[in-house]
């Protein structure tokens, strides 16, 4: 695949990750009890790692003089305020699974760029780890998302 198609896929991944539900939740923290500090810390760690991955994608696209599109959050996310984290966990997990699929698609499209392939592999590993962590959170909270993704 040519570099234009590759960079378009990378920008799609950047938008999916940078404007995903995990990032949205990170900006408008949902309702949870004061005792949920460990949960909050775990999710904040996932948010920060994903932000770092997005920054790395931006750096790559910028170095290739690709016009970076950050897009906007989906309008359906605006209904996600004042909801419990237990309600949102299955939705976050589903969205992260879609981001993983975007990453796999970008990997497939960018076979000719070894350096970019390594970056995408690292991001895919982070997404897989994030999905595993979200599943564990679901299990510990008895949320209905333990089998999702």
Tokens of 21: 């539900």
The answer as to whether 46 is a domain residue is yes
The answer as to whether 60 is a domain residue is yes
- Contact in structure between 56 and 116 (CB atoms under 8 Å): no
The CA–CA distances, whole Å, from 58 to 53, 61, 89, 98 equal 9, 5, 27, 20
Q: Which candidate, 61, 62, 54, places its Cα nearest to that of 16?
A: 54
The answer as to whether 147 is a domain residue is no
Range of the domain at 22: 3-141
The answer as to whether 16 is a domain residue is yes
CA distance linking residue 95 with residue 133, whole number of Å? 14
Per-residue pLDDT of the chain in tens (149 residues, 90 and over written 9)? 578 999 999 999 999 999 999 999 988 876 666 677 888 889 999 999 999 999 999 999 999 999 999 999 999 998 887 788 888 999 999 999 999 999 999 999 999 999 999 999 999 999 999 999 999 999 888 777 744 44
Tokens of 82: 């004042």
Cβ-based neighbours of 52, under 8 Å, separated by 6 or more: none
Total count of domains within the chain:
1
Q: What is the pLDDT of residue 46?
A: 97
Q: What is the pLDDT of residue 149?
A: 45
Cβ neighbours around 85 below 10 Å, total: 20
CA distance linking residue 43 with residue 88, whole number of Å? 12
Cβ neighbours around 18 below 10 Å, total: 21
CATH code (residue 40): 1.20.1260.10
The answer as to whether 149 is a domain residue is no
Q: What is the pLDDT of residue 45?
A: 96
The answer as to whether 62 is a domain residue is yes
Q: What is the pLDDT of residue 98?
A: 98
Q: What secondary structure, in 3-state letters, does 23-67 show?
A: HHHHHCCCECCCCCHHHHHHHHHHHHHHHHHHHHHHHHHHHCCCC
């Amino acid at each position: 695949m040519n570099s234009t198609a590759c960079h378009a896929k990378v920008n799609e991944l950047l938008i999916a990750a940078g404007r995903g539900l995990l990032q949205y939740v990170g900006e408008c923290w949902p309702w949870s009890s004061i005792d949920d500090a460990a949960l909050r810390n775990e999710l904040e760690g996932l948010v920060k790692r994903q932000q770092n991955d997005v920054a790395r994608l931006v750096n790559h696209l910028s170095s290739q003089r690709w016009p970076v599109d950050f897009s906007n959050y989906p309008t359906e996310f605006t209904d996600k305020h004042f909801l419990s984290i237990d309600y949102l966990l299955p939705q976050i997990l589903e969205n992260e699974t879609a981001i993983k699929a975007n990453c796999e698609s970008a990997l497939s499209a960018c076979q000719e760029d070894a350096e970019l392939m390594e970056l995408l592999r690292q991001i895919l590993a982070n997404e897989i780890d994030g999905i595993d962590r979200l599943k564990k959170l679901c299990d510990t909270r008895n949320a209905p998302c333990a089998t999702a993704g």
